[in-house]
């Protein structure tokens, strides 16, 4: 293969882009349009007099995120060798993922109005002969609802758990592998949310349920219902299930790098999957699609990292300290 000449004159924009890490560039690629759409949704809801608590919350999240990003950029410039500041940069991709996820609920309808939830219902019916969420009504019980809510809520820490443990253990390359893999999985799911907008069963099948979910007063389910009230009544973020995808990916990375923790995660992950059906957040086909995302993310992540590092080296940028897929120097020029 013929070596390409050093890249020197391709513009300041590309040089700026490749000074970022790949996960930071992915975040910008999603956060810029979703920020614009959140503001559009906020303005539209205000004009139509349908402004609820969720949309102002989305704008507040954007303002807080912008302030945090500016503070981090300043800290990196002032204290580039600080371990604490560098650690903040490592964990920021997870926080950005959450911000984008919450704002996507408000904006998917402004991008794609071609809903597919009726197709998802038909697939579940074909697979099982019933709608699993409706079939599960026979098991509704306040105590079981609280248990399922506990399992469902665990996702908030299951997603970053393995990378966080690896970071605390200073196992840098393994931390970056798992962190980047999970972030890539999130963004693959976000892209599919926009391509295949689908309302969850709790909304689309609301007319078909004969029994309301109920928990014990002022416990987990009550708090969960209050949180769901902040989401739009036309939420479109069901397919694929990132609860299924990211939790399975966390299990796989734990199996690779933290085997003793697999037995802690396994029952929680299985409970999480069941809870998505019981609590009417997902169709079963959502879970199947989420699981299918996992091998794609695992295969794509090292290739993406390897490509990004080769471009950084070509532009004279030092790759991330803990990169797990560094090319040989002779390969970087190709």
Name 73's Cβ contacts closer than 8 Å, sequence gap at least 6.
none
Judge residue 137's burial from the number of C-beta atoms within 10 Å of its C-beta, 0-12 exposed, 13-18 middle, 19 or more buried.
middle
Residue 157: the pLDDT is 92
What is the sign, positive or negative, of the torsion defined by CA atoms of 123, 152, 273, 27? positive
7, part of any domain? no
6, part of any domain? no
pLDDT averaged over every residue in the chain:
82
| 258-288 pLDDT per residue, tens | 999 999 999 999 999 999 999 999 999 999 9
d(CA 81, CA 140): 54
Give the pair of three-digit tokens for residue 303.
């290739």
Task: Read off the pTM.
Answer: 0.85
235, part of any domain? yes
Total domains in the fold of the chain: 1
pLDDT (average), residues 17-24 = 82
Residue 56: the pLDDT is 52
4, part of any domain? no
Main-chain phi, psi angles of 171, to 5 degrees: -95, 80
d(CA 245, CA 288): 9
Q: Are 159 and 94 in contact (CB under 8 A)?
A: yes
3, part of any domain? no
The residue ranking higher by pLDDT, 258 or 46, is: 258
207, part of any domain? yes
Expressed as residue numbers, the domain containing 235 is 12-332
Residue 140: the pLDDT is 94
Instruction: Read off the pLDDT band of 327 (50, 70, 90).
Output: very low
d(CA 201, CA 277): 9
Axis-axis angle for helices 22-47, 284-314 (nearest 10): 130
243, part of any domain? yes
1, part of any domain? no
Residue 334: the pLDDT is 37
């Amino acid at each position: 293969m013929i070596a390409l000449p050093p890249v020197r004159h391709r513009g300041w924009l590309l040089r700026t882009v490749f000074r970022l890490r790949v996960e930071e560039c992915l975040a910008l690629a999603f956060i810029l349009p979703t920020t614009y759409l959140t503001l559009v949704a906020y303005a539209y809801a205000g004009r139509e007099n349908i402004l609820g608590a969720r949309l102002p919350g989305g704008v507040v999240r954007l303002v807080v995120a912008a302030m945090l990003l500016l503070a981090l950029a300043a800290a990196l410039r002032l204290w580039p060798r600080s371990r604490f500041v560098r650690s903040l940069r490592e964990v920021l991709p997870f926080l950005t993922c959450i911000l984008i996820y919450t704002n996507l609920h408000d904006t998917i309808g402004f991008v794609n109005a071609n809903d597919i939830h009726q197709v998802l219902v038909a697939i579940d019916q074909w697979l099982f002969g019933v709608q699993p969420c409706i079939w599960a009504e026979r098991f509704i019980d306040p105590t079981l609802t609280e248990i399922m809510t506990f399992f469902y809520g665990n996702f908030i820490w299951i997603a970053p758990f393995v990378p966080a443990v690896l970071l605390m253990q200073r196992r840098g390359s393994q931390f970056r592998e798992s962190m980047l893999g999970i972030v890539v999985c999130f963004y693959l799911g976000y892209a599919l949310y926009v391509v295949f907008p689908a309302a969850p069963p709790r909304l689309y099948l609301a007319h078909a349920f004969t029994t309301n979910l109920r928990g014990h007063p002022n416990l987990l389910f009550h708090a969960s219902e209050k949180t769901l009230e902040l989401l739009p009544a036309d939420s479109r973020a069901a397919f694929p299930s990132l609860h299924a995808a990211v939790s399975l990916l966390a299990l796989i990375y734990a199996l690779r790098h933290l085997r003793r923790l697999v037995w802690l995660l396994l029952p929680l992950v299985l409970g999480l999957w069941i809870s998505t059906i019981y609590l009417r957040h997902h169709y079963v086909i959502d879970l199947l699609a989420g699981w299918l995302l996992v091998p794609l993310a695992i295969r794509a992540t090292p290739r993406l990292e390897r490509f990004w590092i080769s471009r950084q080296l070509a532009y004279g940028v030092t790759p991330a300290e803990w990169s797990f897929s560094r090319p040989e120097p002779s390969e970087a020029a190709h």
